[in-house]
Amino acid sequence: MDLKKFKDFESSLFRLEESYKKTAENKNNENYRFFRDSAIQRFEFTVEIFWKLLKNIAKENEGIICNSPKSCIREFFASGYIKESNAKLLMEMIDDRNMTSHTYHEEVAEIIFSKLKNYINCMFDIYKTIK
């Protein structure tokens, strides 16, 4: 495993969790939307780092080439690294990651933010497995 990619993911995941908590603390504050949008942007690039780490591990450990986030998740599930419930949630996470370009719509931003806690927990599960 590429240790730099793992450390980048680790750092990004912990910062995403921090950003999520800060946003939740400011739910009834005038700065809420700023914090929410920042958390969503951090989610965006954490997902990018995450799937590229999976891609790297799949190639190095299993000799599997996957070229998209969903194909990497499917391969990780097939190889036994991810349980089914997490695989389903990760597929949904990728769909939501693709929706982040539409966060200028308040309702889309709220929907994505409302799911972040589950996505963070799921990525922490995978983080622990990889570590």
| Tens-place pLDDT, residues 46-101 | 999 999 999 999 999 889 999 999 999 999 899 888 999 999 999 999 999 999 87
pLDDT of residue 102 exceeding 80 = no
**pLDDT value of position 131:** 87
**pLDDT value of position 18:** 97
What average pLDDT is seen over the chain? 93
**pLDDT value of position 117:** 98
Q: Do 19 and 35 form a contact (C-beta atoms < 8 A)?
A: yes
Angle separating helix axes 84-99 and 106-130, nearest 10 degrees: 140
CATH of the domain at 51: 1.20.120.330
Tokens of 118: 């589950």
- Map tokens 């809420």 to a residue: 32
Provide the domain limits for residue 62: 3-130
- Total count of domains within the chain: 1
